[in-house]
Chains A and B, each alone.
Chain A
Amino acid sequence: MSVQLKGRFSFPGGVHPPEKKELACESPIQPGPAVTEVAVMLSQHLGAVCDPLIRKADAVQAGQKIGDRDAFVSAPVHSPINGKVKEIALRSHAVIGRGLAIVIEALPNNPTKRSHFTLPDGFDERKYSAEQICEAVREAGLVGMGGAGFPTRVKIEPNPRLPKETLIINGCECEPYITCDYRIMLEWTNQIIAGVRLARRASGCSRVFIAIEDNKPLAIEAISEALKNAADGDRIAVAPVKTKYPQGGERQLIRAVLKRYVPTGGIPPMIGVVVLNVATAAAIAEAVVSGQPLTHRVVTVTGEAIARPGNYYVPIGTSVEDLVEFCGGVTEKCAKVVLGGPMMGIAIADLKTPVTKATNAVTVLTREQIGRAKFARRQTACIRCGRCLQVCPENLNPTKIAHAVKHNLLDVAAGYYMNACIQCGCCSYVCPANIELTGYVKTGKIFLAREKKKMAE
């Protein structure tokens, strides 16, 4: 059986935004800036927020656990540098607005640069038991590094009620601009495959697919080449998927590769599937083999308004300002700084916002990229052209939902299955009237959740 599957897998709907990967895809992963201060957020994942384990003015070592919580869906945080706790204070957080962070000052004469992990020779995943792997993943504070930040241990741990059969490794990177996963696949190929094997062993999955978009032929080739010589190559297959946004969305990827549907409102384990990002897979190998916690990650700093775009291995907690400065600063035309890609990323107002475990890119956009109408926030009335319906990967009716939310008819919006929306942004991207459909849906979801909470009380 050949390692690489034939055909291009895809799903109905989606859009083709300009890829813009050429800005940073040639730049190898380099060490990031030498930081003097990091702010490690206590909430870098979905689930319970960590409690700080140290106090102000305590000395901390690189890799020391500084925050944890005894909840099932949670992940501890660690200090990336040697230093002293300056304060535990509120910092801007990309996702939740504001959150508690442990601010650590680096000691002046202390080397804190950490080179990335390389797999030792003679690695054999059978040396590790499933429990060992899960424990190591939990202790290293691993979370999904593709953007959502769901604790990895919860994902890969065997669950007797929902047995797992298939593991999909997500190397699609469908967001425009971002190239960090691409560089990881090219440079850290062996680690990814080691991580895949460990994840397979821990979760008990029998089949593994590594899905990569076909605009990254080098990555497909590199991974296929590495798998060819492996003894268990027949249990891991590379699935080239069509280049389309949002191909890397969990539900879309499962639909494309397995032709199966995750139930609305459900999660992939319900149909026996686990989806892990390639960066997470590499981090699993690091966590299990070397026991090092997740304190650094690869971040793509890119965009038309950045002087030197590239991929950097940076300590988690580095502020966006430091990163941008390290890349030569922004040019005059900068109009928006986005954490993540332009389709789903979050525009930040405060450049002191720290990088978290789930931050895969800092994209600095110019006015031209945003588009004149969008920049001026000029909207016209909906002309019911139906483009949003055709591109919706979840087969929803975005214009009806958005207008119901606009007029505060939450029950109508819910009747159009508002909660099934994955907020990929395709509808806003194509809308000729320039209506922020995704924004309305997000608002509606929040309002609906609040209303339900009120009813429960």
Chain B
Amino acid sequence: MLKDIRVSCAPHISQPLSTRSVMIDVIIGLAPAMAAAGYYFRVHAAILIAVCVLSCVASEWLCNRIRKKPNSLDDFSAVVTGIILALSLPPKLPIWTAIVGSVLCIAIGKMVFGGLGANIFNPAMVGRTFLTASFGLLMTTWTVPATIDRAMPDVAQENALNARTQATPLAWSKLAIKNELGADIYGEQQFMPSLMGQVGGCLGETSAIMLLIGGLYLLIRRTISFHIPLAVLSSAFVFGGIAYLLDSYVYVQPFFHLTSGGMLLCALFIATDPVTAPLTRRGMWLFGIGVGTITMLIRIVGEYPEGVMFSILLMNAVTPLIDRLFKRIPAGGKPSV
């Protein structure tokens, strides 16, 4: 009667969740930002995203082959890494640079640690940091969106550096700080465009609205909790607000910092990467506050106009310490023995 009955430890039922479904949720959450990138940067966006995703997937497959490990592509985490990397790159980055970055993301950022779940640093940020350090000029060449410059989607241009470029809002605000220019009017002028995305910048960082929609989807699906995004954004707002109150002529208003640059992409999609974020709620608060504060420190005091990737990597490094700091105490208190 019964030939194939199985024995295992309890529980015998489970929620219909898998690592893959979590990753697919993140991809869906990133879809509005990808659509905005496609709208503003046209074919460049499609090329860059496709190249990054494909080379991430290919390098994960290759790493698994070399390490003689079972194939791990079916969890879709390489796709997520590829998309996040693409969204944090300048639109007209040469394809070979994107490929180098993607290979580094997966090989150095993830696979050398032992694959998904074992990496200390966010893979996409590892790749992007490498590219910024190695190809500084290419990584800071911002093309204007196609909705401003009709000639922009022209791929056949011989030299990417000849393209009509525009300083990003953040580069502009950095300039204002250094040269003590009036930042107040600029901040107000650029607030609406940066909310909609009609500014220069990385592929997926420009449209704040679309990032918020995607983030909201993840929050509703409970793929991410609100703790990290809220901590990042509120600490950045407070830091920016203090600077603004000190000297509103030089420093832009704090809302501007939230909508421009990689702040929203970071708060909603990069800092919430579960592998490299703390486990406990209190740890998440500390992690988020750290990310927001370091980002603003770099933006306002430091040399670079944007500090998201450095702050993420720095906080990733202290994540194990945060986990150790906020150890959970059982509900019944510490055992007396």
Partner-B contacts on A (CB < 8 A): 12, 15, 17-18, 176, 251, 255, 261-266, 329-330, 334-338, 340, 342-349, 351, 363, 365, 369-371, 373-375, 377, 380-386, 389, 393-397, 399-400, 416-417, 419-420, 423, 425, 428-434, 436, 438-439, 442
Contacts and interface: CB of A to CB of B under 8 A. Distances in A.
Nearest to A436: B9
Nearest to A265: B335
A425 B10 contact: yes
A331 B6 CA distance: 15
A396 B330 CA distance: 6
A433 B75 CA distance: 10
Contacts of B116: 380-381, 383
Contacts of A434: 14, 18
B115 A381 contact: yes
Nearest to A345: B10
Given A263-B332, A264-B330, A337-B2, A365 B19 contact: no
Contacts of A383: 19, 22, 116-117, 274-275
Interface residues of B, number: 45
Contacts of B10: 338, 340, 342-347, 423, 425, 428, 438
B117 A375 contact: no
A351 B331 contact: no
A380 B2 contact: no
23 contacts: A261-B331, A264-B333, A264-B335, A265-B335, A336-B5, A338-B10, A338-B12, A342-B11, A342-B12, A347-B7, A347-B12, A383-B19, A383-B116, A384-B279, A385-B22, A386-B274, A396-B330, A417-B330, A417-B335, A425-B10, A430-B15, A432-B21, A433-B117
Nearest to B329: A395
A335 B11 CA distance: 14
B118 interface: yes
Contacts of B280: 386, 389, 397
Contact of A439 (B9, B18, B275, B334): B9
Interface string B288-329: 000000000000000000000000000000000001000111
Given A389-B328, A436-B8, A371 B13 contact: yes
Given A385-B274, A395-B331, A420-B335, A371 B22 contact: no
Given A264-B332, A264-B334, 12 more contacts: A17-B15, A265-B337, A336-B8, A369-B12, A370-B14, A382-B117, A394-B331, A423-B10, A432-B15, A432-B22, A433-B19, A439-B8
Given A395-B329, A417-B330, A436-B8, A429 B335 contact: no
B328 to A, nearest CB: 5
A251 B5 contact: no
- Residue in B9, B10, B18, B323 with the greatest tally of chain A CB atoms within 10 Å: B10
B16 interface: yes
Contact of B336 (A263, A348, A397): A263
